[in-house]
Amino acid sequence: MNNRTLVKHLAALPDGPVTVAGWVETVRDQKKVQFVILRDESGAVQLVNPATRELDPESADAASADAFAVTEEISALAHGSFISVTGQLKHDERVKLGGLEVKIASLAVVAEADPETPIAADSSLDKRMDWRFLDLRHPKQNLIFRIQTTFLHALRTYWVERDFVEIHTPKLMASASESRAELFEVGYFDGTAYLAQSPQFFKQMAQPAGFGKVFEVGPAFRADPSFTSRHATEFTSIDAEMSWVDSHEDVMQMHEELLVAGITAVKEKHGAEIAELFGIELEVPTLPFPRIPLAEAKQIVADRGYVIPRTDEDMDPEGERQISAHVKETYGHDFVFVTDYASSIRPFYHMRHEGDPSLTNSYDLIYNGVEISTGAQREHRIDLLVEQAKEKGLDPEELEFYLDFFRYGVPPHGGFGMGLARVLMLMLEEHSIRETTYLFRGPTRLLP
């Protein structure tokens, strides 16, 4: 429809003829006048029609017949039907919706909707997920994915301007990249393949290949039967890896600059809409982000009255909330890098501290009380990699293709992986990644 005008462009046009198209959000069918709120992908506009309720077929002219037909069509419109309307645009500050309206001249129903809508504003999250394509028509849901587009474009721009190379790694793997317990097995001809938990091995492969710096935005899979608000079995992972790092500090610096670039772009383009629809003032974080070693973070949390019950030396969700609260109170910051995790709870490929192999050159990034990313300097020395893999109970023979990367020279390198939906959830203060995932996949959801 080449002559169609998006709603967001109407305000800039002079009064006059215009064609708009979208779906019916509201119909007010009054005795003397009819109002239709039409919404498209960019916004909503009020359509108005002076109702012609009666028609004498013997004396009516063509114009009267057309006006009567439009009135009848509007009276029969179902919520959600897609329509195309041609009419006269008029700017009128008395109109609450955008200060303009379109007086209908002709109306065509392009696709009629069933009159009974299966979800409502107060439907449960699960019910809304069942009818996600209808749920996504809501302006708030629409905005989430426009924000996602802006955010990812800003990340890509940051990387590309700094000579990172975008790669797309396989999602079918011959062996585990981390824990076999979280792998989805799939039949692969006469054998077995695994859905990739992360692009870890393959983005590391780019380092001995001489790419220097790489990034990927792509799907990842975790066979984790978690039903929390922040877990999914399929998610979009944001990954980066770069050569010639001195430590994980280099990775953290790139990571924080990247996030500032992304959030800045979102605030500049969507800040007013976020305030209107989400009721929050998005803040761009200052640089650098606070950094706290894990041992110190655990002590801070304990001093706040919460003792982490787990014995594996990791933070738990309440510990993450507590250290975030401390950082917010102390530094006024929404982000914190928790660093120097124990080697016992980190993957075999994380580099260990020189002189203290019980600790790793690694970090978790926590945002508004929730961990969004793990990053580290990687071990690039083949003998130590083999030794550390064995310590984790992994069979070096099954990792042979990965270990081969390191037999022909690889520079010191590091990177991170970060969940896109989780970042958006925390940015917009939503309560579940189901809201910020286009189509969610979890242990009990494979539809729609």
Task: Specify whether the CB–CB gap between 79 and 117 falls below 8 A.
Answer: yes
What pLDDT does 59 receive?
59
Task: State pLDDT tens for residues 248-258.
Answer: 999 999 999 99
Binding residues: 178, 222, 371, 374, 378, 419-422
d(CA 167, CA 97): 45
What pLDDT does 67 receive?
84
d(CA 402, CA 417): 18
Best CA proximity match to 89, nearest among 155, 174, 149, 14? 14
**Domain boundaries of the chain, sorted by first residue:** 7-111, 129-427
Report the 10 Å Cβ neighbour count for 181.
9
**In the CATH scheme, what is the homologous superfamily, with its name and number, of domain 7-111?**
Nucleic acid-binding proteins (2.40.50.140)
- Does this chain's domain 7-111 share its CATH topology with 129-427? no
Task: Specify whether the CB–CB gap between 256 and 218 falls below 8 A.
Answer: no
Angle at 345 between CA 343 and CA 348, to 5 degrees: 60
Percentage of residues of the chain with pLDDT beyond 90:
87
Task: Specify whether the CB–CB gap between 388 and 381 falls below 8 A.
Answer: no
Task: Specify whether the CB–CB gap between 359 and 372 falls below 8 A.
Answer: no
Helices (H), 307-419: 317-331, 382-391, 400-403
248-278 and 420-427 helices, crossing angle to 10°: 50
What pLDDT does 175 receive?
74
What pLDDT does 182 receive?
85
The residues facing 215 across adjacent strands are: 166, 240
Binding residues for ATP: 371, 419-422
Task: Specify whether the CB–CB gap between 39 and 7 falls below 8 A.
Answer: yes
Q: Which amino acid is at 273?
A: E
Query: Rounded to the nearest 10 degrees, how much is the dihedral formed by the CA atoms of 14, 18, 21, 22?
Result: 30
Report the 10 Å Cβ neighbour count for 188.
12
Which parts of the chain have pLDDT scores under 70? Answer: 1, 55-60, 176-181, 311-312
Residue 262, C-beta contacts closer than 8 angstroms, at least 6 positions apart: 151, 152, 154, 155, 158
Binding residues for L-aspartate: 178, 222, 374, 378
What pLDDT does 53 receive?
73
What pLDDT does 61 receive?
75
| E runs forming strands in 5-56 | 16-29, 33-40, 43-50
The CATH number of 129-427 is which of 3.50.40.10, 3.30.365.10, 3.30.930.10, 3.40.50.10190?
3.30.930.10
What pLDDT does 425 receive?
98
Phi, psi for 248 (deg, rounded to 5) = -65, -15
